[in-house]
Structure 1
Amino acid sequence: PYNFEEGLKGGVPIASPSPRRYLQLRVKIIPTSAAGAGLDYIGFDFSHSIPAHEVLAEIYPTEVSPKQATRFTYALRPRIRPGDTGFNSLEILTPIRADTVRSVRIDGEEVDFEVEYYDDRFVLHFPKVTRDQTLVEIDFDCLVLRYFGFEGRVFDDELDELPQLVSPGDVVRDLPGDEISVRVSLEEPIVVSVAVSPNPFTPNDDGISDIVNVSYSLLRLEECPVSLEIYDLSGNLVREVYRGMAGSGRYFKAWDGRDEEDKLVPPGVYIYKLSVHADQGEEVKVGTVTVVY
């Protein structure tokens, strides 16, 4: 489960439940007909002290619609024993950049916090938790387009120790389920949230509305063929904006108002056709975009 290239850049976190005293690894070396392979060394960083004996976490809701961002509650409760350091920071992995963190509560009381947003996670800093069975709850908004596990890691940002992975479990009796994974409703279509902006647009190189963006989300997909084409009202192909492979995610494709010969098209109404060829069948979205000068 570990990415070799990421390991060369400085290491990857251990995905096994933690903390653990022992670790067993298996390395597969696969030579090719043109080159052999070898392993020079494997290195590990480890902590002498840990934030907690165990940290249980759960998220709610666990089934969402991909049409809009969902407000989640992420709850965790540590088992802190004598000698454990406690923690004042939490990293939560996200499928895309989270919209916003709304609040942090410790034993039901809202507390001040700082947050750092990244494309695939956010990191929270809050008052240090050192008491056993303290309940920490985080409310945040995030768009989910496919099945995803919101893995979390706690740490003390004042100590030079490794973060500790949380374990899914029953944290709050009133929250259904005891998991940190979220599913997307299977009743939703494959292609959702198609938007065209600006519409109309004016590709006259004046720096204002020169390009139109077609944005869309793909759900529950592995890599599959996707195309975006522009047609005139007579059904003639004007421009193939994109053709390639794509999986679940949010996408933005731009058209500069030019045809296949790189000439500006005449003003008027044009049709975009977004096609996705998935295992469960083809899904096509069409709409109009207007060019004015």
Structure 2
Amino acid sequence: MERKSPTKWLPLLTMVAVGILFVISDLTYAQITDTTWTSTNFKKAVYFRTTAVKTPKSEKNATFTITAVDNYVLYINGDSVGTNTDGDWKTAETWTVKPPKGQPIEIAVKVINSGIYHEGSGFIIDGYIEATKENILTGISPAWRYTHENIKDWTTADYSGELWQDAYVVDISDSVLKSIENLEDTQALPVGDGTETCSPLPADSGKVVLSSVSSGVNLALGKYVTDMKGDEVESVTDGELFGPACYWSSVVPEAMGFYLKIDLGVPQILQRIRILPQSLDKNTFVPDTASYIKGYSIRISLDDVSYEEVLLNLFNEDPVVDTTFTPTPGRYVKVVVAAIDNINKVIIGDIEVYGTGYVQQGVYTSAPIDFGTSEEKNFGKVVWKADIPSGSKLTMQFRSGAPLDASGQWEWSKWSEPSVAASGKIFYALEPRRYFQYRANLFTSDPMITPKLKQVTAYYSTVPLARRAYGSVTAVKDTLPNEVEVGSEVSYIYTVQAQLDEKSLGFNKLVILTPTASYVDSVDTNGVVLTEGVDYVDSTTSEAIVIRFTHPIMHSIDALNVHFRASLFLDANDFPGYLALQTQSVSTNSQYLEENVTAGRSWTIYTYGYVGEVLEADKVRVEPNPLSPNGDGICDYTVIKFTIAKLDEPRRVSIKIFDLNGTVVWKKDMLKRADVYQEKWDGKDLDGELVPPGLYIYQIDVDADENCKPVTGTVVVVY
């Protein structure tokens, strides 16, 4: 296993197992919060102290298991009981002592960082009474403290003074100190060989990059070609030189300025072109030495507007043109007739274009990654390392799954949406599962550069909240249960079925992601109605139903039902969800629900009916109108209510209010998706001053497409 600094454990240690502690000084903590912290700051000793107030009731052996970032010395009641100098934090040592009966146990740890092995001054410790298995570290008072000063008798002296500081302590679980590698909730995965249009860097560098353009690949083959009249010409990029339809002809000898334009589809770095004449033989290439191009200009453009002439030959005597030029970026290539003989028409059999650099875009999909058979994994966030030069882009997608059977069929979750959040992306996954897969989407607008994916790290836990958890939604209506009229408010039941066993942690939070704002009416479990404020708290937002249960659910449940109302505006409306366990001291990795597709169930609701526009004028309401913002509590503000349809992703929405001179007196910009919205205007301008009485014009504009027109109307202000 790769050696890692324990500072990287901190974001992962979220579950509590009382008594197993990860303790660090501010030096290690600073490394996390300040990326400029240098390794020289760690080459020193740190002295840690605490007192176990749960004293032994009899003189029994106490066992301490400990490991540190580098070297350590363990003291109990002032006596050195164990030391380690191997610098290997992955292996822990166990020390046995017999503390005095009925007295507090003074625990001291000196951590010495030599700067050779790791950066940091943290250690991990566990302690218990052998006979009773009572944990010694469950009642430490005060908490762990540390100092950088070698204070006299520091192992037993008072440590409440100003020279001592509070240590950063993390309770950890799902780990065994005798096998410290279990503390690693990450698996670093250097990416492997490339596929399709991505390739690895040489010398096993472990990076994925865009494929290089081969100097022997004809970039023009099969590409779209037009002549100077705009007519399509297929024959000059088809790779065929034989036959009556395998060439382009100017028809007349007076062809000066005639041209053919090739669209390569994507920008490339171009450096070579071949212009082939027609063949006089149908089986063997015999170049036409009369009608070949006598002079030519090669012009290249990125936008089909501004062209650069990269080559000009007014005296061409070679029927087969094969020439190179300075590497030039371009997508469009024009071959212009620049000289004629006034006798022969110009006939071109084929045009070939060659380049260098990188292809514009590519996709790399990893092989299924096996996380082991011991326990299925509950996946958390994924982070990745990449070099992304300006002008390039990298997005990542993820999924989880498992083989269905020995036939090679797989059960996979849907690919997550492309993400650029390299610092951490939590993705929807089938959980718990054994296999993980990622997909890298690479793009560059500059053919001479490429993004480089260097490493992917997946966070996971081995103890799920539930062995399996399923979700489905049903519309409460007489007709088809999963079809509703678009825009109408309908009642729904979201049902969660959870299977828990003795290893499951349980959950106290349910989140249902909603396509529009939803309103919870009630919650019941197995037919028993729960009381809001007593059994649960409704923390629903405009994007999710959030139910927090007062007491964790620790057993299997056949039907946890959430009754809610919503108006839907998309053709297909999905309601995925996840479970979580959150308390003041614990925040676990959430677990996504699986879609329950048994007996015709689903978490998708489909709509029927007609919605003409993204924003429809007849669904805009401004009430009250007029408004009278005089502070008397009556009509002091107006509410602009509008409906957005068809948008499954947030788009920019702007509301503006103009006076009759066309001046904007108030505006609000926001990002909205399909839903019903209400925005208040209190009669004040952009400076917070009340506007004069009179007639005003409102405008609602959605940045959707060119056919989405703004909606305007009037609102009156009176005093």
Aligned 8 A contact 1:200 1:291 in 2: yes
Partner of 2:510: 90
CA 1:237–1:182 in structure 2 vs 1: closer, same or farther (change >3 Å)?
A: farther
CA 1:132–1:144 in structure 2 vs 1: closer, same or farther (change >3 Å)?
A: same
Matches within 5 A, 1:27-42: 27-33=440-446, 36-42=450-456
- Taking structure 2 as the reference length, the TM-score comes to 0.33
Q: CA deviation at 1:59?
A: 0.5
Q: CA deviation at 1:144?
A: 3.1
Which one is further off, 80-89 or 16-25? Answer: 80-89
Q: CA deviation at 1:152?
A: 0.9
Partner of 2:560: 136
Q: CA deviation at 1:46?
A: 0.6
Partner of 1:197: 623
Matches within 5 A, 1:64-103: 64-65=484-485, 67=487, 69-99=489-519, 101-103=520-522
The answer to whether the aligner puts 1:117 opposite 2:540 as a matched pair is yes
Structure 2 distance, partners of 1:121, 1:246, is 14
Partner of 1:261: none
CA 1:31–1:225 in structure 2 vs 1: closer, same or farther (change >3 Å)?
A: closer
Q: CA deviation at 1:97?
A: 4.3
Q: Alignment partner for residue 23 of structure 1, among 432, 436, 439? A: 436
Aligned 8 A contact 2:484 2:605 in 1: yes
Structure 2 distance, partners of 1:193, 1:41, is 50
CA 1:70–1:237 in structure 2 vs 1: closer, same or farther (change >3 Å)?
A: farther
The answer to whether the aligner puts 1:53 opposite 2:467 as a matched pair is yes
CA 1:6–1:143 in structure 2 vs 1: closer, same or farther (change >3 Å)?
A: farther
CA 1:103–1:253 in structure 2 vs 1: closer, same or farther (change >3 Å)?
A: closer
Matches within 5 A, 1:128-277: 128-132=552-556, 134-146=558-570, 147-157=572-582, 160-170=587-597, 177-190=600-613, 191=616, 193-202=619-628, 212-221=638-647, 238=662, 248-251=674-677, 252=679, 267=694
Aligned 8 A contact 2:521 2:563 in 1: yes
Aligned 8 A contact 1:75 1:138 in 2: yes
**Deviation per residue, 1:53-91 (Å, 9 max, x gap):** 322221121334454543321001123345333333211
Q: CA deviation at 1:137?
A: 0.8
SS in structure 1 at match of 2:455: coil
Structure 1 distance, partners of 2:496, 2:698, is 46
Instruction: Name the count of aligned residue pairs.
Output: 279
Aligned 8 A contact 1:2 1:12 in 2: no
Percent identity between matched residues is 23
The answer to whether the aligner puts 1:290 opposite 2:716 as a matched pair is yes
SS in structure 2 at match of 1:118: coil
Tell me how large the CA RMSD over aligned residues is: 4.3
Structure 2 distance, partners of 1:248, 1:215, is 13
The answer to whether the aligner puts 1:43 opposite 2:454 as a matched pair is no
**Deviation per residue, 1:204-236 (Å, 9 max, x gap):** 89999677553311111478998878899xxx9
Letter in 2 for 1:124: I
Structure 2 distance, partners of 1:257, 1:161, is 46
Aligned 8 A contact 2:653 2:700 in 1: yes
Letter in 2 for 1:218: I
Structure 2 distance, partners of 1:63, 1:89, is 28
Aligned 8 A contact 1:218 1:247 in 2: yes
Structure 2 distance, partners of 1:131, 1:54, is 12
Q: CA deviation at 1:165?
A: 1.3
Aligned 8 A contact 2:693 2:716 in 1: no
The answer to whether the aligner puts 1:105 opposite 2:528 as a matched pair is no
Structure 2 distance, partners of 1:155, 1:69, is 29
CA 1:220–1:35 in structure 2 vs 1: closer, same or farther (change >3 Å)?
A: same
Letter in 1 for 2:624: P
Aligned 8 A contact 1:67 1:193 in 2: no
CA 1:204–1:66 in structure 2 vs 1: closer, same or farther (change >3 Å)?
A: farther
Unaligned residue ranges in structure 1 (runs of 5+)? 259-263
Aligned 8 A contact 2:474 2:601 in 1: no
**Deviation per residue, 1:94-129 (Å, 9 max, x gap):** 234433x22221111123212323342232223443
- Taking structure 1 as the reference length, the TM-score comes to 0.71
Bigger relative contact order, structure 1 or 2, given CA contacts below 8 A and separation 6+? 1
Partner of 2:402: none
Unaligned residue ranges in structure 2 (runs of 5+)? 1-415, 476-481, 686-690
